[in-house]
Structure 1
Amino acid sequence: MTRRRLLVLLKPFDMYPGGGRGGKGAPSSTHAFSRFANPQIVHHLDNRRKVHQDAVKFCQNILRRKSVDWETMFRTGLSQPIRHFDLVVTVGGDGTLLQASHFIDDSIPVLGVNSDPTQLEEVQEFSNDFDATRSTGYLCAATVKNFEQVIDDILADRRMPSTLSRISLSVNSQLLLTYALNDLLIAHPCPATISRFSFK
């Protein structure tokens, strides 16, 4: 049996202001950011970075125990179409999964792992101070709590990918974007003008 090839696509660790790691003597972004923000917010953002890092390590440790070949890439490093992989695993949230979708076609399934799910009790606790919402992960099928079960089901062909609609835009039979779109806004400078559109 051929070993499956996986690409593990990660949200960068420095997405939150609290995650700065400057060199010796360099001011950290935490220090610079904390002068302008509530210390609770800085702590919250730093915790989000740590939770994400822990989730990445957890997923990598699970994959090390599986009979798969895998490599890791940060989503910011994507510039070419993703090819020659059997599965893309995104670790982050919906944004990481959607960014991956711009670089793959329908032949490669994607498993989204929400690395930092929203904690309802945390949102309620800080509702008067700031928005403590983390990641919704609407498109993600896994978190660290069920990642191993989900990846086992995929590798054993017990779980099949869902199909999501993708939007592309062509004008006069010319494709304008090679990337998938989430929404399409059609506007005209004169609102009273009648326009005709065909959606297939």
Structure 2
Amino acid sequence: MARRRLLVLLKPFDVYPASQSDGLSRITSLQLRHLDNRRKVHKDAMNFCQNILRHKPVEWKALLRNDIRQPIHDVDLVITVGGDGTLLHASHYIDDSVPVLGVNSDPTRPEEVFRHSNEYDATRSTGYLCAATVDNFEQILDNIIEDRISPSDLRRISIGVNSQVISTYALNDILIAHPCPATLSRFSFKIKSDYQPCSPLVSSRSSGLRVSTAAGATAAMLSAGGFPMPILSQDLQYMVREPIALGAASSLMHGFINPRQSMEATWFCKEGIIYIDGTHVRCSVKNGDRIEISSKAPVLKVFLPHRVQHVSGL
């Protein structure tokens, strides 16, 4: 059997502010000491994972996630060490041929949240999509190498502008809005279907349009009043943000797009931006541009935590 080829993508240290202590208040000093500790925990986790890999029958190399510039094709597994943000970053360079294992390098400890939440943010990383920590990394890695477990297929969003498909797919969500968040967004949209007539055309004046996958439904979509979804759902969820003068179209401002449907939106402002997975990737649009949104994108194969696989959703 050929040796597995692995790529390890690491969360960089520059996401942690450098420590400075002169002239700081007690609370700020506590926060910086906390960051120093978080940096050490992350470094220890990176070293731990790489040390485990040195003793496995695999070929591997490690890179900082920001050093990835090209699509990843020549490996059998990508391992991300950081949190969901590192896995999300990696997903933009992976098609449906390479599975991903996320390692949460610094998971939130409930007792620390209780003890320190008044002093600093103790809710470090939920690692919602990360199946491993340092506690079970070797066991999960062995299961993958020996084909005892399989990845799950997570749905992603395909975005096209004027019939040109954007090369990056969204794993969590997209937001279409004016570059200035205080400026009104004007657009219309309809749901197109393979098996029934299009939905009524909805014209919107609002703060923009958000569309999420099942994986992203627990993030900004849920905070805005959306619904959680089973993680393996193939549907997309959409919501018009802060619509003005709802009227008869109120029931159409929030809904779902199934795999046999797509959304076609037309932008009616001079400027606009499609934000893909937060600020990771963005694409400019202008007045009259037609934006096509669907789940017709390559899935992302992810080894999921058991607690996530068995969440039923609503």
Query: Residue 155 of structure 1 corresponds to which residue in structure 2?
Result: 145
Deviation at 1:197, TM superposition (A): 3.4
The equivalent position to 1:68 in structure 2, one of 50, 58, 71, is: 58
Determine the C-alpha separation between the residues in 2 that align with 1:53 and 1:96: 15
Give the aligned residue type for 1:2. Answer: A
Identity %: 60
Q: 1:186 to 1:16 in 2, by over 3 A?
A: closer
- Aligned pairs, how many? 186
- 8 A Cα contact 2:107 2:126, kept in partner: yes
Deviation at 1:180, TM superposition (A): 2.0
Q: Which has the higher helix share?
A: 1
SS at match of 1:184: strand
Query: Residue 197 of structure 1 corresponds to which residue in structure 2?
Result: 191
Deviation at 1:186, TM superposition (A): 5.1
Deviation at 1:32, TM superposition (A): 6.4
Query: Residue 138 of structure 1 corresponds to which residue in structure 2?
Result: 128
Deviation at 1:135, TM superposition (A): 1.0
TM-score normalised to the size of structure 2?
0.56
Give the aligned residue type for 1:12. Answer: P
SS at match of 2:174: coil
Query: Residue 9 of structure 1 corresponds to which residue in structure 2?
Result: 9
Give the aligned residue type for 2:89. Answer: Q
TM-score normalised to the size of structure 1?
0.86
Q: 1:34 to 1:55 in 2, by over 3 A?
A: farther
Determine the C-alpha separation between the residues in 2 that align with 1:87 and 1:76: 18
Deviation at 1:133, TM superposition (A): 1.1
Query: Residue 46 of structure 2 corresponds to which residue in structure 1?
Result: 56
Structure whose alpha-carbon radius of gyration is higher: 2
Determine the C-alpha separation between the residues in 1 that align with 2:23 and 2:66: 26
Q: Unaligned 5+ residue runs, structure 2?
A: 178-183, 193-261, 263-293, 295-314
The equivalent position to 2:71 in structure 1, one of 70, 81, 104, is: 81
The equivalent position to 2:19 in structure 1, one of 30, 36, 46, is: 30
RMSD between aligned residues: 1.9
Determine the C-alpha separation between the residues in 2 that align with 1:184 and 1:92: 23
- Render the CA deviation track for 1:139-189: whole Å, top value 9, x for unaligned: 1010000000000000000010011011110134211x2112221335684
